[in-house]
Amino acid sequence: MNSDILFMPHIFFNPKSIAVIGATNNPKKFGNAVTKNLLKTPQLPVQLYFISKGTKEINHTPTFLSIRDIQDKIDLAIILVPAKFVESVIDECILKQVQRIIIVTAGFGEIDAQGKSLESIIAMKCRSAGIRVIGPNCVGIENVDIGLNASFIQTPYKGNISMVSQSGSFGGACIWEWYEQNIGCSKFANLGNQIDINFIDILKYYKEDKNSEVIAIYVEAIKEGRDFFNELKEITPYKPVIIQKGGRNPTGLAAASSHTGSIATNYNIFKTAVEQAGCVLCENMPDYITALKTFSQLPIPKGGRIAVSTSSGGSSVLFCDHAENFGLKLIDFSKTFIEKVRPHLIPLVKYVNPLDMIAGATEEQYYIVTKAMLEDPEIDIVVPCSLVPPFMDFEPQAHLRGIVRAWDETHRVKPVIPLMVFSEGFQEIKDLQKKSHIPVFFNPRETALAAKFLVERMNFLKRFQS
Amino acid sequence: MNSDILFMPHIFFNPKSIAVIGATNNPKKFGNAVTKNLLKTPQLPVQLYFISKGTKEINHTPTFLSIRDIQDKIDLAIILVPAKFVESVIDECILKQVQRIIIVTAGFGEIDAQGKSLESIIAMKCRSAGIRVIGPNCVGIENVDIGLNASFIQTPYKGNISMVSQSGSFGGACIWEWYEQNIGCSKFANLGNQIDINFIDILKYYKEDKNSEVIAIYVEAIKEGRDFFNELKEITPYKPVIIQKGGRNPTGLAAASSHTGSIATNYNIFKTAVEQAGCVLCENMPDYITALKTFSQLPIPKGGRIAVSTSSGGSSVLFCDHAENFGLKLIDFSKTFIEKVRPHLIPLVKYVNPLDMIAGATEEQYYIVTKAMLEDPEIDIVVPCSLVPPFMDFEPQAHLRGIVRAWDETHRVKPVIPLMVFSEGFQEIKDLQKKSHIPVFFNPRETALAAKFLVERMNFLKRFQS
């Protein structure tokens, strides 16, 4: 392990001091958004300095006119001034001997040849000075572990996913959805035009970072393809890597090229390579979220034998359709299992898989059946299907509460993949999810896809077992 | 047009009087859920009667011990008593000369041979008496136009979709999602075991019903395939028909058979037939919702030429990927268009499609660009892409508000398909959606799929133009 390489992105995520160049109290400027995000964590273990031409005081502290006016050592400078001022600000950063720079400002290589040439000059100057750079044309980075949001986008919940995204907006959109679904994040980086720090640098850091248990990538174009794939190959035996690629066909490629100024890669070659490297490649955003939700919150099963319970016939029928399409297998229930649950269910129930407990099934029945499935040595993956019960005196979260109890009492050893059809809108479900750290799946296809992801990961990991 | 056939399902949805047999104040019973739903509309133009063994008074009115104790004529009886009592209740209904019956109670043909035989006897008795029956084993029906909820599931918003579902829970789940996304419903029917009224009866009614502008079907098995497909063929030139089928492969078939006791159909034959009949067949629940959202709220375009605007590069790149996969075409902007919008955008903007207005794009810019696109004779479909702006002093609904204004000022003649990535969780978006009756799409694939649905419907309708 090359400690230099590791060391490099580490300071971006763990600086002792940050200078925000272009900080402002004007709420219509990105400089303000970054400033506010940095100030949101009261106990942030980072010394902050604000450099501003127009704002005299930020957070009750006088601003500086230049980074050179700051006495202390600066680990990280975040540059938010308009593109035409960036080069001179970089010169000052070099004189100040800052260690790392993030250039948020857009208007460089993604725009025209002049911007391209300007960013090359900046890259060269920083390289000569031994300064590593993220950007330009990016939203910034975050280290949620320590409450550092050095970006103009929102802060996710603390968790175990670390993301590197070529698109800031894709990353930002994911963070909202993580927030909605109580999915947690450790590190976030948006790389922009990548004049220096690239995917491989960040991946090397995430590979070694213990809080980065699941790696999320959004990429539109890769410059050093072979190194990228080799890096992925090194990570996947230890951590699941989830990828989505933008710019997959001529229309998307054209849009991607206009957007980041980078040359995109042939999708079929890309697909083959990342799948060979053991990554999960998703073709759309909902699948990507499903993969992250699954791997960040569920254990890998020991086998692929699935048991389904339901109080909603239609939902489990559709789950079965998707499960078979994904090559998954439902088991037949053993006599032991049937005898265990029969006393707790109504006489109408037939003991086939999916086990349909009929529309009025209770929290207690979900608890008993889910637990019996989790305890059954012939079952590897448990899929309780339900709607938020819309009738009688059920609370919306009743069924899920029974499922959580069963999962907790069996120490969460096996994956449980609860399908609560279209329950996204229920605050009670969100609250229980947040409290219990259980993922909830919202439609039959998503649920089957989660099972498929887990089974494929299990099979992949088996390759490394002697 | 056969007025008898039309007349028949009409009374189910527009009865003058309803008798609820098995009504109760016990909140743990389905009878209570149906009772409460019926009582929810204060001005319901239906006389309600409650028949109960255990509850003396419902809604401050004494209950009846038998339907025969009611003086007035009963158009519709809803049966909620346990399966073993249903036959004798049916006998009383026949004596009372009720016109229509809904049997909610489960435990018939879907369970075993005995249940099958019992439901045959009931069917025969009702047929002899000239009574039409929905069910058994169903959640009931709704006519949202008049506020009638004769089911134990929730009431949707008023709207133009009429649904017939073989699964009550699938229907109920859809209604939640419609509620979340402000999609409105006219009629809802869950058919259960279909001992009498079947899909074709309901479709004939929806075909003629003027408020049923979009038809939604969830089916697991069809008995009279040819009649069903012929019926669909008659409807599709006038109204879009959206279908999802459960039980598509052996695993799903087995689950479906256990759930409704019906024999399922070969999916490939089904698919070919419904697509030939001009229906939209969806393979999963999110696509089904997307289709209903699209057809219930957007006009059919005159052509397939798409223009995209964005402040989120990644999102529009992914939209383009999906659009090309779906065979859709982005146009090049005309000189006129470019000159019209250029004064309002920042200098960094490049005038290619997607038109990237860069991350700080304002409500006003979305308004101007969307309007210019809607007014451009070379553009048929307008796709504004955005995130809920997470920075600066934007309100979450700012971009959408600009889009709505442009759509309103151009009289909603062309479809506008706003992509607001992962904005489901924002109440401000929901409120604006509800107020403005504009659909919002939540990920790039969904957005491209909506455009595909519209273009395919346009092409289908062209067949009928001379």
Residues B422 and B456 in one domain: yes
Question: Which residue does chain A place closest to B110, by CA atoms?
Answer: A348
**Bridge partners for B149 per DSSP:** B142
Structure tokens at A134: 């993220």
Residue B267: name the closest of B283, B278, B280 by CA: B283
B-chain CB neighbours of A30 within 8 Å are 359-360, 391-392
Cβ within 8 Å of A, B 2-21: none
Of the candidate ranges B43-47, B268-272, B408-412, B443-447, the one whose mean pLDDT is the lowest: B268-272
Q: What is the mean predicted confidence (pLDDT) over B454-461?
A: 98
Q: With CB atoms and an 8 Å threshold, state whether A317 touches B256.
A: yes
Element (H, E) at B159: strand B157-165
Residues A214 and A342 in one domain: no
More confident: B449 or A389: B449
A-chain CB neighbours of B356 within 8 Å are 258-259
Residues B434 and B332 in one domain: yes
pLDDT band for B391, please (50, 70, 90 cuts).
confident
Q: With CB atoms and an 8 Å threshold, state whether A284 touches B218.
A: no
Residues B204 and B241 in one domain: yes
Residues B217 and B283 in one domain: yes
Cα of A340 vs its chain's centroid, Å:
40
pLDDT band for B85, please (50, 70, 90 cuts).
very high
Q: What is the pLDDT of residue A265?
A: 66
Residue B11, pLDDT > 60, answer yes
The 10s digit of each residue's pLDDT in A139-153 is 999 999 999 999 999
HEC assignment per residue over chain A: CCHHHHHHHHHHHCCCEEEEECCCCCCCCHHHHHHHHHHCCCCCCCEEEEECCCCCEECCEECECCHHHCCCCCCEEEECCCHHHHHHHHHHHHHHCCCEEEECCCCCCCCCHHHHHHHHHHHHHHHHHCCEEECCCCCEEEEHHHCEEEECCCCCEEEEEEEEECCHHHHHHHHHHHHHHCCEEEEEEECCCCCCCCHHHHHHHHHHCCCCCEEEEEECCCCCHHHHHHHHHHHCCCCCEEEEECCCCHHHHHHHHHHHCCCCCCHHHHHHHHHHCCCEEECCHHHHHHHHHHHHHCCCCCCCEEEEEECCHHHHHHHHHHHHHCCCEECCCCHHHHHHHHHHCCCCCCCCCCEECCCCCCHHHHHHHHHHHHHCCCCCEEEEEEECCCCCCCCCCHHHHHHHHHHHHCCCCCCECCEEECCCCCHHHHHHHHHHCCCCECCHHHHHHHHHHHHHHHHHHHCCCC
Residue B466, pLDDT > 70, answer no
Cβ(A313)–Cβ(B259) below 8 Å: yes
Residue B1, pLDDT > 60, answer no
Residues A150 and A292 in one domain: yes
Task: Give the burial class of A435: count Cβ atoms within 10 A of its Cβ; 0-12 exposed, 13-18 middle, 19 or more buried.
Answer: exposed
Cβ within 8 Å of B, A 56-95: none
A-chain CB neighbours of B254 within 8 Å are 320, 352
pLDDT band for B359, please (50, 70, 90 cuts).
confident
Exposure on the CB side of residue B77, measured as CA atoms within 13 A: 33
B-chain CB neighbours of A107 within 8 Å are 348
Cβ within 8 Å of A, B 339-368: 348, 350, 352, 354, 356, 358-360
Smallest Cα distance from A353 to chain B, Å: 8
Smallest Cα distance from A257 to chain B, Å: 9
CA distance A444 to A296: 20
Smallest Cα distance from B39 to chain A, Å: 14
Residues A48 and A108 in one domain: yes
Q: Count of H helices and E strands in chain B?
A: 16, 19
CA distance A258 to A137: 13
CA distance A195 to B35: 67
Residues B72 and B153 in one domain: no
The bridge status of strand A329-330 relative to strand A305-310 is: parallel
Q: With CB atoms and an 8 Å threshold, state whether A324 touches B249.
A: yes
CB pairs under 8 A between A and B: 265
Q: What is the pLDDT of residue A4?
A: 56
Smallest Cα distance from B132 to chain A, Å: 25
Q: With CB atoms and an 8 Å threshold, state whether B421 touches A285.
A: yes
Q: What is the pLDDT of residue A223?
A: 82
Residue B266's SS3 state is coil
Q: With CB atoms and an 8 Å threshold, state whether B169 touches A445.
A: no
* Number of domains comprising chain A: 3
Residues A103 and A158 in one domain: no
CA distance B48 to B61: 10
Cβ within 8 Å of B, A 153-172: 153-154, 165-172
Q: What is the pLDDT of residue A278?
A: 97
Q: With CB atoms and an 8 Å threshold, state whether B28 touches A166.
A: no
Read off the CATH number of the domain in which A115 is found. Answer: 3.40.50.720
For the beta sheet containing B76-79, the strands, ordered from the edge strand earlier in sequence to the opposite edge, are B47-51, B17-21, B76-79, B100-103, B132-134
List all residues 6 or more positions away from A229 whose beta carbon is below 8 Å from its beta carbon: A273, A274, A276, A277
Residue B140: name the closest of A383, A7, A91, A391 by CA: A391
Q: What is the pLDDT of residue A391?
A: 75
Which residue, of B236, B267, B297, is where some domain finishes?
B297
Q: What is the pLDDT of residue B260?
A: 57
Helical ranges in B277-414 per DSSP H: 285-297, 313-325, 335-341, 363-375, 398-409
Residues A171 and A281 in one domain: yes
Q: What is the pLDDT of residue B9?
A: 87
CA distance A429 to A435: 10
Residues B279 and B424 in one domain: no
Domain span at residue B73?
Answer: 3-134
The 10s digit of each residue's pLDDT in B176-207 is 999 999 999 999 999 999 999 999 999 999 99
10 Å Cβ neighbour count for B60? Answer: 5
CA distance A93 to A131: 9
Mutate which of B243, B391, B394 to disrupt the A interface (most A C-beta within 10 Å)?
B391
Give yes or no for B29 touching A (CB within 8 A).
yes
Question: Which residue does chain A place closest to B347, by CA atoms?
Answer: A107
Q: With CB atoms and an 8 Å threshold, state whether B318 touches A260.
A: no
B7, amino acid identity:
F
Which residue, of A245, A266, A297, is where some domain finishes?
A297
Smallest Cα distance from A368 to chain B, Å: 19
B63, amino acid identity:
T
List all residues 6 or more positions away from A156 whose beta carbon is below 8 Å from its beta carbon: A142, A144, A175, A178, A179, A183, A184, A185, A188
pLDDT band for B387, please (50, 70, 90 cuts).
confident
Q: Which residues of chain A have pLDDT under 50?
A: 1-2, 263
Which residue, of A134, A163, A189, is where some domain finishes?
A134
10 Å Cβ neighbour count for B162? Answer: 29
10 Å Cβ neighbour count for A45? Answer: 11
B-chain CB neighbours of A445 within 8 Å are 283-286
Q: What is the pLDDT of residue B215?
A: 98
Q: What is the mean predicted confidence (pLDDT) over B219-232?
A: 91
Residue B443: name the closest of B317, B304, B295, B285 by CA: B317
Q: What is the pLDDT of residue A317?
A: 93
Cβ within 8 Å of A, B 113-142: 139
Element (H, E) at B219: strand B214-219
Residue B250, pLDDT > 50, answer yes
CA distance B306 to B416: 10
Give yes or no for A291 touching B (CB within 8 A).
no
Q: What is the pLDDT of residue B251?
A: 81
Q: What is the pLDDT of residue B259?
A: 62
Residues A105 and A183 in one domain: no
Q: What is the pLDDT of residue B3?
A: 52
Give yes or no for A303 touching B (CB within 8 A).
no
Q: With CB atoms and an 8 Å threshold, state whether B258 touches A168.
A: no
The 10s digit of each residue's pLDDT in A175-215 is 999 999 999 999 999 999 999 999 999 999 999 999 999 99
Question: Which residue does chain B place closest to A285, by CA atoms?
Answer: B443
Give yes or no for A421 touching B (CB within 8 A).
yes
Average pLDDT of every residue of chain B: 93
DSSP one-letter code for B303: S
CA distance B324 to B322: 5
Q: With CB atoms and an 8 Å threshold, state whether A179 touches B425.
A: yes
Dihedral of CA atoms A420, A424, A425, A428 in degrees, nearest 10, equals: 60
Q: With CB atoms and an 8 Å threshold, state whether A152 touches B391.
A: yes
Read off the CATH number of the domain in which A219 is found. Answer: 3.40.50.261
Smallest Cα distance from B392 to chain A, Å: 5
